[in-house]
Structure 1
Amino acid sequence: MNWPTWLPLRKDLTPLTPYGAPQVPAQASLNTNENPYSPSPALQKAIADAVMVAAANLNRYPDRDANELRTKLAGYINSTSRVNLTIDNIWAANGSNEIIQSIFLAFGQGSALGFTPSYSMHPLIAKVCGTNWVDGKRNSDFSLNVELAIEQIVQIKPALTFITTPNNPTGGSVSISQIKSLADAVAKVNGLLIVDEAYAEFSTEDSAVTLIAKNPHVVVIRTMSKAFAFAGARVGYMLCDSSVKDAMMLVRLPYHLSALTQAAASVAIDFKDELLGYVSELIRAREAMTAQLHALGLKVVPSSANFILFTGFKAEAPKLWSELLGKGVLIRDVGLPGYLRVTVGNEAENTLFITALKELI
């Protein structure tokens, strides 16, 4: 952008562009990894009732510590990962991006290391927060080379090491044994290992939360946007040692999580069985779509998430992306030459995508 000369914008921000996927009309919007299933009428009513109760006290500030929500989040994680976390091991915020930003604000005095391609907000938030970001390397198939990663940790000695599992935009997972090896290396350089598990519910791998009790330098980031189909509510949370949670209190904004958000999210967790029931359906749809892409002669990067990265088409990725949009299908050009990413949608959206793709490749 050409910024006006009178604007005292930080020099290191002037070359940046805002993050964001295109928001354009489409019959099938399969570009932002949203859950395609809307809240049920019963859940909608329960949220509306809870919001109405909260609305009676909107003249007052919300619970600054979101105690009810954090208690329910602890119960959810304990039941799914067989751990024994308490409210002191959890911090909630406005989406996982606020969690990431707060981590940089609290601990980003040194370098941060991540293994790209991965979630593009990690380096962007690092830059905004003034933390030096180092791009680590992956294998040519986008899998994480743990031995090489450990070498880079030893060499760079980052304050923060980020891994994303399942990885976005590629979809691959890192096993719990590999995460433990990385955690051991990070401990030796007195850093934190940040494990971004935004898509964890779509994977069969054990969560890194199982490492926290014996590895207090392991921090896990989760979101309610994906599996919980709650993207519009903006709720993320962090699972960590209590000392890490306490450090978040130093950098958080006062009353940052609204009473309405807390009320809605608490109800959603009460409906977790219903919401997570869609996860198995999306996994089945992911496998079916993978088979259909293979049948079209395309190559698919193995995915443990709710999206698929694919290649093997003859057109340039931006051209195919545009042609698909012309047929009412919006997917994601993630900037990897020769690759495009598609979110797993509902049956009608997935059918429209495959049909349009057949006509174009």
Structure 2
Amino acid sequence: MDQFERLSQLPLRDDLRGQHPYGAPQIDVPVLLNVNENTFGVPLDAKEAILKAVADELDGLNRYPDREFTELRRALAAYLGHGMTQENIWAANGSNEVLQQLLQAFGGPGRKAMGFPPTYSMYPLLASGTGTGFVTGTRAADYSLSPESAAEQVRAQAPHIIFLCSPNNPTGTALGRDVVEAVYEAGEASQAIVIVDEAYMEFSHEGTPSALSLLPGRPRLVVSRTMSKAFALAGARVGYMAAAPEVADAVRLVRLPYHLSAITQATAVAALRNSDSLLANVEAIKIQRDRIVDELTRIGLTPAPSDSNFVFFGGLEDPRSVWEGLLAAGVLIRDVGIAGHLRVTAGTEQETTAFLSGLRAILAT
């Protein structure tokens, strides 16, 4: 009997039977470009600031951390701008936990969430874990989402929670503010919480709008972000949201006590105080992202316009064999399970060169 069969012998919830946990392959190869990490790492000045901040917390580790993580909320509000104050901010162990807490507060049995695939695959998994139903909308053939189509689908489904991912994962495309406005208005009848997942917003092209500007006067709108990507802190697990203060109050009803450790809080605050050097790498990543789009177009593939730190590209007859060929060459990218397509993270110049050279060699054969 294998492990999966042993699992099925347990008194598991019926809706979890036959399910598999989320996770991309973790393979040790020289070039890792599969999970949209910031491959530049933490700059020296930020690293030193984080080390000092963490060291300062060590003497107090016998005490519980600030349950309200007040200093971190102030720092995040200052970073976001848009008139945000600490009352508008909530944080947790990665934006996934923020989304989970929102589902715990506003979803649950008898309620349903809605997403527009292809999009972040954790949305239905988070819904399942909280006993929330999940319904899927549709996108156009080019994976775009118009305000008219989105609003019509929301009115038809009457969901209680709506996920809008912008820039979208896995396609990398950003939504216009008109889509968010239309969805928010369409969700009025079901009093839907509208979550705009902006995990990759720092990588967007100049002029790409953020839903942060739409928060005033919209108490059911939430903008979620993360420090995993632009701040190169995927291993620290820090995500956060901006919303009306009452949304944070709702999440307080379901959060675990002292859910953000003192070490996590100190790390995040120190990183925010050194945001200039951390975000300097974002500009370097955007250069490589645009280089990938240009090169893939030149060799006859069809990359989607990207406002993120990755590129979703099609035009492949056998994407699995391309994925395997790159892996054999020491480059790991992501097969997202969409016919004819793969996704690659924009890394350093050297990592990008390794990917493009490997891909050219494979396509030539």
For normalisation by structure 2, the TM-score amounts to 0.95
**Does 2:64 match 1:61?**
yes
Aligned to 1:138: 139
Aligned to 2:169: 168
Q: Is the 1:3–1:14 Cα contact (8 Å) retained in structure 2?
A: no
Deviation readout 1:17-68 (Å, 9 max, x if unpaired) = 1101111011110000011111122221111111111011000000011100
What does 1:1-361 correspond to in 2, within 5 Å? Answer: 1-4=4-7, 6-78=9-81, 83-109=82-108, 110-203=111-204, 204=206, 205-314=208-317, 316-361=318-363
Q: Is the 2:91–2:239 Cα contact (8 Å) retained in structure 1?
A: yes
- Per mean C-alpha deviation after superposition, the further-off stretch among 171-180 and 4-13 is 4-13
Q: Is the 2:46–2:278 Cα contact (8 Å) retained in structure 1?
A: no
Q: Is the 2:226–2:238 Cα contact (8 Å) retained in structure 1?
A: yes
Partner Cα separation in structure 1 for residue 15 and residue 79 of structure 2: 41
Q: Is the 2:145–2:179 Cα contact (8 Å) retained in structure 1?
A: no
| C-alpha deviation, 1:248, in angstroms | 0.6
Matched residue SS, 2:360:
helix
Q: Give the letter for the 2:323 counterpart.
A: W
RMSD of aligned alpha carbons: 1.1
Q: Is the 2:172–2:308 Cα contact (8 Å) retained in structure 1?
A: yes
Matched residue SS, 1:92:
strand
Partner Cα separation in structure 1 for residue 314 and residue 117 of structure 2: 18
| C-alpha deviation, 1:3, in angstroms | 3.6
Partner Cα separation in structure 2 for residue 210 and residue 3 of structure 1: 50
Partner Cα separation in structure 2 for residue 120 and residue 114 of structure 1: 10
Matched residue SS, 1:215:
coil
Which residues of structure 2 form unaligned runs of 5+? none
Q: Is the 2:8–2:17 Cα contact (8 Å) retained in structure 1?
A: no
| C-alpha deviation, 1:294, in angstroms | 1.1
- Per mean C-alpha deviation after superposition, the further-off stretch among 101-110 and 91-100 is 101-110
| C-alpha deviation, 1:187, in angstroms | 2.3
CA 26–143 in structure 1, closer or farther in 2 if over 3 Å, else same: same
Partner Cα separation in structure 1 for residue 78 and residue 7 of structure 2: 51
Deviation readout 1:95-145 (Å, 9 max, x if unpaired) = 000001111111014111110000000111101111110010001111113
| C-alpha deviation, 1:146, in angstroms | 2.4
Q: Is the 2:147–2:178 Cα contact (8 Å) retained in structure 1?
A: no
Q: Give the letter for the 1:249 counterpart.
A: R
Partner Cα separation in structure 1 for residue 277 and residue 150 of structure 2: 38
| C-alpha deviation, 1:313, in angstroms | 2.4
Partner Cα separation in structure 2 for residue 206 and residue 189 of structure 1: 26
Partner Cα separation in structure 1 for residue 47 and residue 125 of structure 2: 35
Partner Cα separation in structure 2 for residue 351 and residue 234 of structure 1: 29
Which residues of structure 1 form unaligned runs of 5+? none
Matched residue SS, 1:251:
coil
Q: Give the letter for the 1:90 counterpart.
A: I
Partner Cα separation in structure 2 for residue 194 and residue 230 of structure 1: 22
Partner Cα separation in structure 1 for residue 18 and residue 220 of structure 2: 33
Q: Which aligned segments of 4 or more residues in structure 1 are displaced greater than 4 angstroms?
A: none
Matched residue SS, 2:187:
helix
| C-alpha deviation, 1:155, in angstroms | 1.3
Partner Cα separation in structure 2 for residue 229 and residue 312 of structure 1: 31
| C-alpha deviation, 1:4, in angstroms | 4.2
Q: Is the 2:150–2:179 Cα contact (8 Å) retained in structure 1?
A: no
| C-alpha deviation, 1:253, in angstroms | 0.4
